[in-house]
Amino acid sequence: MSLFKRKKRPLARDAASLRDDRQFFVACDDTYAPKQYFSFFRLSRVHIEVVPTVSGTCAAEDVLKRLQEFSQKFDPAEDDELWMLLDTDHYTKGRHLKSFIATVKKAKQQNVNIALSKPCFELWLLLHHENEAAVGSLSNARDVAEALRAKLGQYDKTKLKRENYPLKTVPDAVKRAERLDESVLGGDIPQQNTSRVYLLWKAVVSKSLPSQLPLELRSLLDD
């Protein structure tokens, strides 16, 4: 039985169908970058709460367990959402693959949304600055980090700089990531580079009134 039950989201985007505050609870396998990244954005009546990541417990089953424990403490309301941000760089290879697949299946059964990045979350950061055609050949997390350094002049995942990810770059990143993902084979285990963090942003936008959204994000309402 699912631990988390929610009614289907109303299709009408009007004041009567939206709660005053909506929560997105996000658990990650990355200790540093996602929590910093999402802290840069302040949205009206929408809160993205990144669950603290414990170093050394980054397998997918650990991420799901943290999300379950965190969400039970905060008692998510019907209109809140639960998300896992997972990298495929290490955990879809060898002996890790079976556990990864099982955890993804379990999470979906519990109404947990999943945003995979291959090879890593940093690919999402890079899509704020580079077209999707420029990121497809990066073979691992190290290559992605080097590409960020080349573009930004420096990159330290423990010390992201807010000015490198202004809100106005988010719609471009969403659209680039979506185009990139359309050509990716493999489903839950993507065979080519992709970052599905764009799905989280689209969910955030879909739960907001146009008047609640910053001007920079309103173009995503048309998608």
> Using CA atoms, how far apart are residues 155 and 136, in angstroms rounded to an integer?
20
φ, ψ for residue 87, nearest 5 deg? -95, 155
The amino acid present at 31, given as its one-letter code, is: T
What is the average pLDDT score of the chain? 86
The amino acid present at 109, given as its one-letter code, is: Q
pLDDT value for 20:
57
175-201 confidence digits (pLDDT tens): 999 999 998 988 888 999 999 999 999
102-135 confidence digits (pLDDT tens): 999 999 999 899 999 999 999 999 999 999 999 9
Taking the whole predicted model, whether its pTM rises above 0.85 is answered as yes
151-175 confidence digits (pLDDT tens): 999 999 999 999 999 999 999 999 9
Q: Note whether residue 172 is domain-resident.
A: yes
Q: How many domains would you assign to the chain?
A: 1
Q: Note whether residue 54 is domain-resident.
A: yes
Give residue 127's domain range. 22-222
Q: Note whether residue 17 is domain-resident.
A: no
> Using CA atoms, how far apart are residues 137 and 144, in angstroms rounded to an integer?
10
- CB-count burial class (<10 Å; 0-12, 13-18, 19+) for 202: middle
Q: Note whether residue 164 is domain-resident.
A: yes
Task: Give the three-state DSSP class for 84.
Answer: strand
Q: What's the start-to-end Cα distance of the chain, in Å?
A: 34
Over residues 5-16, mean pLDDT: 41
3: left (phi over 0), alpha (psi -120 to 50) or beta: alpha
Q: Which two tokens stand for residue 156?
A: 């330290």
Q: Note whether residue 10 is domain-resident.
A: no
